[in-house]
Copies of this chain bind each other. A is one copy, B any other.
Amino acid sequence: MKLTIEQSKLAEILETAYLAISPKPTDPILGNILLIADEDGIVSATGTNLNLTIHTTTTANVEISGQVALPAKLLTDTVSNVKGEITLEVENQACIITHNSGKCRLIGGKSDEFPALPKGENPTEINLSAKKLQAALEGTLYCASSDETKLVLTGVNFKIDTNKWQAASTNGHKLALVTGTLDSEYSDPINFTVPGKSLGELNKILSQCADTSVCNILLSDKTIEFSLPNTKLISRLLEGEYPKINSLIPRSFEYEFTLERKGFESALKRVSYLAERKQKVVKILWELEATQATLYTEATDIGDAVDSVLMKPATSNSENISIGLNIDYLIEGLKHISTDEIVVRCNKPTQPVIVCPMGGLLNQLYLVMPVEIKQGFGKVNSQSTKAKVSTQSEPGTEEVTEVSTQTESGTEEVTNVAQATDDSETPQIETPSVVAKDTTKGKSTSRSPRTKKEAATA
């Protein structure tokens, strides 16, 4: 093999193929990138970790065709740091790379030991705009589980029904769903789950694609191939039935609030410093008449905080509502929405809360389960949320929240969104076991003095 190529073209295919390389390859040959140069001037780079294979091509001035497997990191680092036109010449497994200020010799692996590209049989073809696929991945990947013991949850589940498609992910605590329509119709429903890791790399490739690119998807029994101009990504599918998440999403909502996304995120961040370390719970009181959401942290031995943001309510219920939420989960959901405004939808303090973008490229939703509201929220707010410094800051002015009787068997505080297993047809949302009945409904916060000691032992 002997070829001359512009550094930027070679660097680009190497950096793409390198995305599939495992940092700790199970077989030494998998630490290599396979370079193939053919007589027509096409040069391809392939990287694989057996679960994921990336194959990408470019053009070069090929003098002698051939192939070579070279150490992926060394090759990519070296080519990324030279400039101008470079020459590759292979002889006896060694490749000499000559560039404008020097050269280097890399010793490669045996290219005939490199795994062949996986081929699926009788694939189903699906075409989707690259930008929409990317938006779907950005709207779902962050909710995939990182727990390898629930393997199917580490992926994103795709479903197609006639001309409708959806992508969904959940780790049991949070859930994301993106839906859209296809140009073609499919007579049989399609359902498959792609590993989150593979889709993470696909997302990087999609972000480099032209806005008008189409992703051609070939779905087979065990593998899926995503083809983009010059680049193919082939991934194994995840086996096992994905939990039926659609039934977890409420169909109607009593409350709907529109908020400015960044302002809400800043307020959450401000109160998060004083939220209790482990759970980081915020109580959000949605005040309909005041058109504001007030955020309270629990009073602890480090202190507490209250903050407020404006919102536009649209409700079928005229009573204010208080919901306890995990701040980190909520901020994470907001980070994966790109629109300026968001819509929060909910029904009861024990039922899932939905966060959606206002507009955007696709229908997108984020579901997060509420958290039990404990004693001691709203202490600092001894007057009203917008009042200036209250002089009443001594211990013993905590808000009383009456704990309801236990309604479910479990005693966990953060409940799982979906506990669906393969044999459970209609998974149920576990409701929080102990939920506060909030006393603040449509009027100002009620309070009764109690000592700190009493609160702690309650």
Contacts and interface: CB of A to CB of B under 8 A. Distances in A.
28 contacts: A74-B273, A74-B274, A78-B274, A81-B269, A81-B270, A89-B389, A91-B391, A92-B394, A94-B394, A98-B389, A102-B267, A102-B271, A102-B295, A102-B308, A103-B305, A103-B389, A104-B271, A104-B273, A104-B304, A104-B306, A104-B380, A105-B304, A105-B305, A106-B302, A106-B303, A107-B301, A107-B302, A107-B303
Given A91-B391, A91-B394, A92-B394, A270 B308 contact: no
Interface string A89-101: 1011010101001
Interface residues of A, number: 50
A101 B267 contact: yes
Interface string A380-400: 110001001111011000000
Contacts of A71: 302
Contacts of A295: 102
A96 B389 contact: yes
Contact of A103 (B107, B266, B380): B380
Interface in A275-303: 294-295, 297, 299, 301-303
Contacts of A380: 96, 103-105
A408 to B, nearest CB: 34
Contacts of A92: 393-394
A182 interface: no
A6 interface: no
A161 interface: no
A238 B287 CA distance: 60
Interface in A89-128: 89, 91-92, 94, 96, 98, 101-107
A248 interface: no
A108 to B, nearest CB: 9
Contact of A303 (B77, B104, B302, B379): B104
Contacts of A309: 101
A385 B102 contact: yes
A87 interface: yes
Contacts of A385: 102
B104 A305 contact: yes
A256 interface: no
B306 A103 contact: yes
A392 to B, nearest CB: 10
A82 interface: yes
Nearest to A2: B389
Contacts of A391: 89, 91
A319 interface: no
A301 to B, nearest CB: 6
